[in-house]
């Protein structure tokens, strides 16, 4: 139990792996741009969780640099969400839907 619980690295890495795999699945299989956006957020979150987990279980004790890196991941996610919303608006205005299979061009 000691290797797989709140006081060991393995469980966190496993959760992050599942999150990343789910994100890749969503990005690869979703036809709607919103599904892809959800998948991207899942992958970013998995990365942030890895940063914090590895920083927490350093051999030399807890390392706060992992948490600082996770803060930057959250900043990137915020920027990504703003850009994605603007792009979705543009796609919606040109083709009345955000289906990535049908979207061919982006011109006003």
Partner 1 sequence: MIELLLFWTCCLTAVAGAIGAATVRNLFHAALLLGLCLSGVAGLYLFLEAAYLACIQVIVYIGGVLVLVLFATLFSADIMGRTQRPVWWLRLLGIVGGALAAVVAVRLLQVVLQHGRDLAARRNDSGAVPDLFGGSQDAIGDLLIGPWLVPFLLAGVLLTVALVSAVATVQRFRRPVERARG
Q: How far apart are CA 43 and CA 107, in angstroms?
A: 30
As measured in angstroms, the least distance from the Cβ of 52 to partner 1 is: 5
- Residue 6 found at the interface with partner 1 (CB under 8 A): yes
As measured in angstroms, the least distance from the Cβ of 25 to partner 1 is: 5
**How many CA within 13 A on the CB side of residue 27?**
13
- Residue 84 found at the interface with partner 1 (CB under 8 A): yes
47 with 19: CB under 8 angstroms? no
CA 96 distance to own-chain centroid: 27
66 with 55: CB under 8 angstroms? yes
Residues that bind partner 1 (CB under 8 A): 5-6, 11-12, 15, 18-19, 22-23, 25-26, 29, 32-35, 37-39, 41-42, 45, 48-49, 52-53, 56, 62, 64-65, 67-68, 70-72, 74-94, 96-99, 108
């Amino acid at each position: 139990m000691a290797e797989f619980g709140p006081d060991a690295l393995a469980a966190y890495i496993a959760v992050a792996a599942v999150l990343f795999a789910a994100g890749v699945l969503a990005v690869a299989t979703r036809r709607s741009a919103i599904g892809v956006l959800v998948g991207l957020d899942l992958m970013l979150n998995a990365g942030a969780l890895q940063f914090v987990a590895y920083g927490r279980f350093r051999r030399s004790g807890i390392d706060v640099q992992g948490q600082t890196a996770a803060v930057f991941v959250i900043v990137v996610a915020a920027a990504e969400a703003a850009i994605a919303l603007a792009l979705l608006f543009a796609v919606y205005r040109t083709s009345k839907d955000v289906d990535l299979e049908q979207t061919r061009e982006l011109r006003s």
